[in-house]
Structure 1
Amino acid sequence: MMSVVTYTAYVLGKSWNILLNTWPEYREHCRKPYPEIGYRAMGSIVRKLVSLCIDITQFGIAVVYLLLSSKNIHDMIKTFSDNDFSYCFVVLILAVCLLPLTFLKSPQDFWWAVVIAMITTSCAVVLIIIGSSLDYGLCSSYTGMPSYQPKNFFLALGTLLFAYGGHSAFPTIQHDMKNPAEFTKSVVLAFTVMGVMYGPVCIMGYLTYHDTIRDSIIPSIQTVWIQQAINVLITIHCLLTLTIVFNPLNQEVEELLNCPQHFGWQRVLIRTGIMVAVVFVAESIPNFGPLLDLFGGSTLTLTSVILPCLFFLFLNARQMRENDTGKKDDSPATLKDVFKYTPRSTLIICIGIIVFGFCGGAAATFSAIVELTTTNFLLPCYVSPFLNKTMDEDLALVSEYGISFVY
């Protein structure tokens, strides 16, 4: 999986370089580089579809991170106090606290938030490895190896794509670089570092806890101070990420509704409405694990696996067609051009990845929907009180019997 997402990030970077070399206007400011890649590769309709896909992805990430942050805070409250504070109320309180931060115009001056998020994640990874290593002698002999189930394989695929699928932001990052041509080197280094960080966590978690791991590895760690330190670090990471994730989604809706760029009641109303929508989905599906797998298997599979290869094939074929004919032609390449001008090795690799993305993404999406509606089904927060059943009871049942993966 690591090699697939690294390759797709690589060809996505090459696609943006083609745009910069062919259409000089993209060397100046461009608000939506990824949709522009889709437009130059396959036309204006694809540009709109890419924008929609990215917006849905940003919305889904916001919901997942809000749920994950709320769960971690709820776990800390349960650990350090005897208060029976509802998980659903934590979601609401956290959303209210985050709302003023979403009113900021742009996160471009908050580079420190990205740095802190990176540091907290790195520290959390180290603590997880230490905690699971300390638990190895105690836990490994009391847990069993999980039986192989195809459904769990595809759910894991969705989880991995959620972890590695940041491709929708890559063209924007590349556009802001001093030398965009060097981006392809950056992605190889970035994914190598991510593999070094995530790999040991997955391996140690599996070897130590086996089939007892649920949506998060954190509750499995037996040393309380390590467990809660990881909780704090991951929560800080999620909260900082949330403030950044909301911004492009907010700006997209504001542009659609012709909202003034200066601060005013329109911005407050629109961004409050978006936060309410995120909270409503979070309260309706209060289980972040299968929801994470759902977005990983659907929109993130599109933006991180399928579309990069598809766009590169068409952009590269258009460029080679122009070089072959010697005529300037801005029209997208045809499917015939793709098969005529693309080197066979590149064509085979890209088609293989596209087929894998379609099949794996469809299976992961279906498996996640089954998880949400059957195995890990939780009543919406606004329904459970009327059935005399608390959300904390539901979460306890899922924790006891559910099956999921490390995030």
Structure 2
Amino acid sequence: MGGRIFEAIGKLSKYLESSVSNCLSHHKNQVVSESVHGANSAIKQLSTCHVCVEQSQVCKCSSDELLLKGVNEGADNHDRGNNPQANSSFTHAVINMVGMLIGLGQLSMPYGLQNGGWTSSFFLVGLGMTCAYAAHVLGKILDKNPKSRSFTDIGQHAFGSKGRVLATTFIYTEIFMALVSYTISLHDNIITIFSGTHLNLHWAKLSTSQVLTVIAVFVALPSLWLRDLSTISFLSFGGILMSLIIFTSVACTAIFGGVKANHKIPALQLQNIPAISGLYIFSYAGHIVFPDLYKAMKDPSKFTKVIIVSFSLVTLLYIVLAFLGAKLFGSQVNPQITLSMPPHLIVTKIALWATVLTPMTKYALEFVPFAIQLEHNILPNSMSSKTKMIIRASVGSVLLLIILALALSVPYFEHVLGLTGSLVSVGICVILPCVFYVKICWSQISKLILILNLCIISLGCCLGVFGTISSSKALIETLKKAHSA
């Protein structure tokens, strides 16, 4: 998420050769046969082994290797320095990690700052540091045990099959809720683009905005039937590009849009912190694919440095965007900054279209991991490739229609996104990495590090509980008001 990533099932045919530390020595004979791999930005690399998918065969290359294989390609021809390969790996890893983090969450940054107060920016920085530490912990686990190649592998090493199920549950719950949020964003922005249009279908009891959303989703629906993963990979670049366009558009509004940035931002609104914590946490969710990024690096020892640089850049972008939006629009700022921008400006129209197109690029990307799991582990091998394609695309279409129905029934972006962050994302990017690390390396870490991780776990649990309660209450109250009206 920003954008918010997931994992395709495949056979691990080989493991990286390196020594296993004492803290994981009892795992050294364990062979994990299946892993869940994938993420929003990383799916583009699946095209390197698309033949495996289309022919229902087990890939000879591991999912981890193909997931971010492109991170290091072409390195020697472009970089300078004492170690061109290492430098290239670092640079491309930073670009990929930043791309994994920036997404839907950036739209709500100004809203979060305005409602939490300008001091909540320190809270945002603190969450960024916490999530960065959790990513560092994942790297430490992978460094100690090369057999762990994914987020779910780490879960299995920590708690066996229960750990794998737990990690997988969080992964697919987040993908579902994130797509609902994306569709709500599509719904909110498309009516602004086509303001003045009237397409009410009284027999279907759908408003103009709902009809336009249905049309947009049906336009995107054929992307679920794509068989060429290299074509789908193009969509991932589109999603990243859209995020950059949105940020640039807000900056141009502040500089050239004629809007005075003179609104006051309250110092602190403590009662709103639990609700906006979910928005902030969702904006840092990307940990599911960090193990893949680690494995793709030519010099994994620089993984922590990549984390520091990437999270610093993303946090800086969020803070700049948050203060820009809050100063420009004050208390009137919308949960999606694009809806607050002056409608007559060309940059506003560009930002709106970028926000509408972003969800349409996500559907196929998000469904690919599930499609591969369905084809390799559920459908029989005797079934023809064409039949499998029809089944997986049909299942994807049904799931997308369910997501559409939920988005139209609960079109409250900030509440759904906050609930996603508090209920699911906090587990993925704060709690689970530290829990796995403590469980696996209990006897190998110092008391100070142990206390630090336990404190982070406790903090994550508190944010998750209070954020979920706050977002749920706000969502229920909003739904009641809507029905009573």
Q: Does 1:58 align with 2:161?
A: no
Q: How does 1:200-211 map to 2 (within 5 A)?
A: 200-211=320-331
Q: 1:44 aligns to what? A: 161
* Unpaired runs of at least 5, structure 2: 1-126, 201-207
Runs of 4+ in 1 over 6 A off after TM superposition: none
Structure 1 residues 216, 19: closer, same or farther in 2, change over 3 A? same
Q: 1:213 aligns to what? A: 333
State the shift of 1:99 in Å: 1.7
Q: Does 1:161 align with 2:281?
A: yes
Deviations 1:315-351 (A, max 9, x none): 2x2xxxxxxxxxxxxxxxxxxxx2x431123212211
Q: How does 1:362-377 map to 2 (within 5 A)?
A: 362-375=465-478
* AA at the equivalent of 1:300: S
Contact 1:129 1:200 (C-alpha < 8 Å) held by counterparts: no
Q: Secondary structure at the match of 2:213?
A: helix
Structure 1 residues 130, 146: closer, same or farther in 2, change over 3 A? same
Q: How does 1:283-362 map to 2 (within 5 A)?
A: 283-315=408-440, 317=441, 338=442, 340-362=443-465
Of 314, 317, 325, which residue of structure 2 is paired with 1:197?
A: 317
State the shift of 1:256 in Å: 5.6
| Aligned residues: CA RMSD | 2.7
Q: 2:44 aligns to what? A: none
CA distance in 1, matches of 2:368, 2:404: 16
Mean alpha-carbon deviation: is it higher for 268-277 or for 235-244?
A: 235-244
Deviations 1:149-181 (A, max 9, x none): 444212211111111111122223334445545
Deviations 1:6-37 (A, max 9, x none): 111111122223231xx3xx5xxx6xx21110
State the shift of 1:368 in Å: 0.8
Name whichever structure is richer in helix by fraction. 1
Structure 1 residues 73, 300: closer, same or farther in 2, change over 3 A? same
* AA at the equivalent of 2:216: L
Q: Does 1:174 align with 2:294?
A: yes
Mean alpha-carbon deviation: is it higher for 112-121 or for 228-237?
A: 112-121
* Unpaired runs of at least 5, structure 1: 318-337, 390-407
Q: 2:130 aligns to what? A: 4
CA distance in 1, matches of 2:425, 2:285: 6
Structure 1 residues 220, 13: closer, same or farther in 2, change over 3 A? same
Of 135, 152, 159, which residue of structure 2 is paired with 1:35?
A: 152
Q: Secondary structure at the match of 2:385?
A: coil
Contact 2:142 2:291 (C-alpha < 8 Å) held by counterparts: yes
Identity of paired residues, percent? 21
Deviations 1:66-85 (A, max 9, x none): 2212322221011xx44366
CA distance in 2, matches of 1:308, 1:108: 32
TM-score (norm 1): 0.77
Q: Secondary structure at the match of 1:215?
A: coil
Q: Does 1:229 align with 2:350?
A: yes
Contact 1:146 1:210 (C-alpha < 8 Å) held by counterparts: no
Deviations 1:228-287 (A, max 9, x none): 111122333333233312222343455563366934232232222221221222122122
CA distance in 1, matches of 2:366, 2:375: 15
Q: Secondary structure at the match of 2:411?
A: coil
Structure 1 residues 173, 93: closer, same or farther in 2, change over 3 A? farther
CA distance in 2, matches of 1:114, 1:285: 27
Aligned residues: 347
State the shift of 1:140 in Å: 2.8
CA distance in 2, matches of 1:96, 1:140: 42
Contact 2:274 2:467 (C-alpha < 8 Å) held by counterparts: yes
CA distance in 1, matches of 2:197, 2:249: 26
